[in-house]
A and B are shown apart, each in its own frame.
Chain A
Amino acid sequence: GAVVSQHPSRVICKSGTSVKIECRSLDFQATTMFWYRQFPKQSLMLMATSNEGSKATYEQGVEKDKFLINHASLTLSTLTVTSAHPEDSSFYICSALGQGILGANVLTFGAGSRLTVL
């Protein structure tokens, strides 16, 4: 089945530094990937839709200069948290859009990246 690899799984950084998270579709091409943020015991909040070869579409309230998304190939999207601050600490999850039964859109998720900003 479809597999999405997300790296790193955990990262700890100092305030003010930038952190890059990678999301790769291993055995299929993903023209569309989604980035979510999840706080403890809460649901996933869609941050942005990443489209291969074009600019990402950000949800309302998500700073595009803060969360840089690059989808340079059909198998790789990256999320860079720039000038990270403690309030950016969270669980970030990527997903790739595959084709489920009869063409319905089904998401394949990465394992998530836990970011802790000191």
Chain B
Amino acid sequence: SQQGEEDPQALSIQEGENATMNCSYKTSINNLQWYRQNSGRGLVHLILIRSNEREKHSGRLRVTLDTSKKSSSLLITASRAADTASYFCATVAGYSSASKIIFGSGTRLSIRP
């Protein structure tokens, strides 16, 4: 079963607007990661936030983590058409190299030109 649930499942916004996606999870985590998937392709790692961090930035990406609520959000500012993709959160529960990385249900983001 999936560890994370994401909302919204689908999001369509105008180019230039900000896009916010949320992820909730159930168990304790070591870190939480966000990945992007273009249609029919593999996933690309975007950003990682550790359980002792609350906010992280990378370019136009901003990730927050609230471990008390077991939730995270991904904000993409000043969206571009090329940001159209599916975005997945992934949680890592353990600390060993064999720790499973479990993916959320994903948000399909469409940017309208």
Contact = CB atoms under 8 A, between A and B. Distances in A.
Given A44-B88, A104-B48, A110 B42 contact: yes
A67 interface: no
Chain B interface helix/strand/loop/mixed: strand
A31 interface: yes
B43 A49 contact: no
Interface in A62-92: 91
A105 B33 CA distance: 10
Contacts of B41: 111-112
B44 interface: yes
Interface in A1-55: 4, 6, 31-32, 34, 36, 41-46, 49, 51
Chain A interface helix/strand/loop/mixed: strand
Contacts of B78: none
B59 to A, nearest CB: 15
Contact of B101 (A41, A45, A107, A111): A107
Contacts of A107: 33, 35, 43, 45, 90, 101
A49 B42 contact: no
Contact of A105 (B2, B97, B106): B97
Nearest to B31: A104
Contact of B43 (A31, A41, A44): A44
Given A31-B97, A108-B45, A42 B105 contact: yes
B88 A97 contact: no
Interface of B: 2, 30-31, 33, 35, 40-45, 48, 50, 88, 90, 92, 97-106, 108
Return the 7 tightest CB-CB contacts between A and B, nearest first.
A109-B42, A109-B43, A111-B42, A44-B103, A43-B105, A43-B103, A112-B42
Given A93-B43, A106-B48, 11 more contacts: A32-B98, A34-B100, A104-B50, A105-B92, A105-B97, A105-B99, A107-B90, A108-B45, A109-B43, A112-B40, A112-B41
